[in-house]
Amino acid sequence: MAAPRYKTLVDALASDIRAGRLAAGTRLPTHRGLAAREGIAVVTATRVYAELEAMGLVSREQGRGTFVRDIAVPAGHGIDLQVVATDAVDLNFNYPSLPGQADLLRQALRGLAGSGDLDSLLSYQPHRGRPQDRASIARHLRRRGLSPDPDQILVVNGAQHGLAVTVMATLGAGDVVAVDALTYPGFKVLAEAFRLDLEPIPVTPDGPDLDALAQVCARRPVRAIYTMPTLHNPLGRVMPADERTRLIEIARRHGSLLIEDASYAYLAEDPPPPLAATAPDVTVHVTGLSKNLATGLRVGFVVAPAHRVPALERAVRATIWNTPALTTAIACGWLDDGTVDHLEARKRDDAKARQAIARQELAGLPLVGHPSSYFVWLPLPDDARADRLTATLARRHISVSTAEPFTTTTHTPQALRLALGSTDLDRLRTTLRTVRRVAVEDAYS
Ligand SMILES: Cc1ncc(COP(=O)(O)O)c(C=O)c1O
């Protein structure tokens, strides 16, 4: 269904404001001026401004006109997701943490303080990490179905850094990279910084639409395919084994590198083997400890084909020299003593409980999500406006994301992405109840 003219205009102005093409403080045309410019009725122009005001993007000042509001993201928050006010319930960012994790850190710091090699943590480390740390990581990844040689592992400063060094080491400006039509926003930020040419591939319930991908690869030189086969963010999908086989075939046929992001993979029980297990020669596997351990630790890993390791190592050197030794030592200690396995199992249970609450409280709405994931996707009817909904929820001190940060197509679907991992269970339930009420009143009525 085509959106009415005024909605298209609302979307275009909203996107100009968010992208900074219309700067904060800009005075917008009068209602009559907008109507004349766009060839619409004055009453329609008034409606456009009313909608932008409801989204929190413009302010109307009596007698002065309509102005672009300052929507700058406050310090400390991501540039690609919307603002989270300090008093808001955060269903926007996911930082799953369990009670008792601070005690684990206290114990680990005590253990480290008593250990014999503290001096070594004060020096520069090998760019790709110490051999003993890479050996711990290799053992951990074996439990995830991979069998990497420690020499093919690089310790990085979180999965986002792992993706950044992968892009730096393997791609150049103008290179075509196939991505899901809805994908992890951090990859979009990288694509913008490194001037990659993203080619969106529609998503199906099984993952990327492989027919569409094959057609794109036949038409354009796709240098890499960025994919999240296990626990896709934001849709929670797990790609079946036969689809993985076909994806690998397509990548091999066209000489495309597979960039496999497994940041949330631990949440899926018994998934098919990672792409890097089946096709280690054409896959760079990136993952981290943010979602299973703690976001502030900033430790991640990259597993790469041997011939790619030197370029990746140079990219680590160019960006950070080495991942901090202290956090790496703590993380590897937890990999070795079973803490990570234990926390992963507890977080899977925690995510299941949260997902069950979401399914109860949002029952009847067309939710998309994995039964043990920390987020749900809520598609809205075409004529609903996700921005208006998020603005209404923000006024009720609830922060959620629209589809925009996740979208790689020019058309942004109307949807909400709700992160379930950052508030306690009782609050999650009451907050989702409000989300439901507002969504039903605003979008589904
Ligand atoms: C799919 C995906 N990849 C990578 C990252 C980055 O994670 P890290 O905190 O390890 O840099 C995230 C964080 O949300 C993510 O969702």
- Which residues contact residue 73 at a Cβ distance below 8 angstroms, ignoring those fewer than 6 apart? 79, 82, 83
- Return the half-sphere exposure (C-beta side, CA atoms, 13 A cut-off) of residue 28: 30
- Residue owning the nearest CA to atom 14 of ligand 1: 94
Shortest-distance atom of ligand 1 to CA 264: 1
Question: Measured in angstroms, how far is the CA atom of residue 264 from the centroid of ligand 1?
Answer: 8
Average of pLDDT values for 68-76? Answer: 58
Thinking of the domain 5-68, which architecture would CATH place it in?
Orthogonal Bundle (1.10)
Domain boundaries, the chain: 5-68, 89-94+341-444, 114-335
Helices assigned H by DSSP within 259-397: 275-278, 309-319, 325-336, 339-361, 386-395
- Residue owning the nearest CA to atom 3 of ligand 1: 263
CATH class of the domain defined by 114-335: alpha beta
Shortest-distance atom of ligand 1 to CA 295: 9
Residue 79 confidence (pLDDT): 44
pLDDT at residue 394 is higher than 60: yes
Give the binding-site residues of ligand 1, using a 6 Å CB cut-off: 158-160, 184, 186, 228, 233, 261, 263-264, 288, 290, 295, 300
Shortest-distance atom of ligand 1 to CA 228: 1
pLDDT at residue 187 is higher than 90: yes
Question: Measured in angstroms, how far is the CA atom of residue 192 from the centroid of ligand 1?
Answer: 17
Question: Measured in angstroms, how far is the CA atom of residue 161 from the centroid of ligand 1?
Answer: 9
- Residue owning the nearest CA to atom 9 of ligand 1: 290
* 27 bridge partner residues: 67
pLDDT at residue 159 is higher than 80: yes
- Residue owning the nearest CA to atom 7 of ligand 1: 159
Question: Measured in angstroms, how far is the CA atom of residue 159 from the centroid of ligand 1?
Answer: 5
pLDDT at residue 259 is higher than 50: yes
375, 420 Cβ separation under 8 angstroms: yes
Residue 76 confidence (pLDDT): 32
Average of pLDDT values for 95-110? Answer: 86
According to CATH, the superfamily of the domain at 89-94+341-444 is Aspartate Aminotransferase, domain 1 (3.90.1150.10)
List the single range of 91-95, 147-151, 194-198 with lowest mean pLDDT.
91-95
Selection from 64-78, 124-138, 389-403 with the highest mean pLDDT: 124-138
Average of pLDDT values for 315-332? Answer: 96
Question: Measured in angstroms, how far is the CA atom of residue 28 from the centroid of ligand 1?
Answer: 37
Residue 3 confidence (pLDDT): 61
Question: Measured in angstroms, how far is the CA atom of residue 263 from the centroid of ligand 1?
Answer: 6
Pairing of strands 58-61, 300-303: unpaired
pLDDT at residue 86 is higher than 70: no
Residue 20 confidence (pLDDT): 79
Q: Identify the band that residue 383 occupies on the pLDDT scale cut at 50, 70 and 90.
A: confident
pLDDT at residue 60 is higher than 60: yes
pLDDT tens sequence across 337-367? 999 999 999 999 999 999 999 999 999 999 9
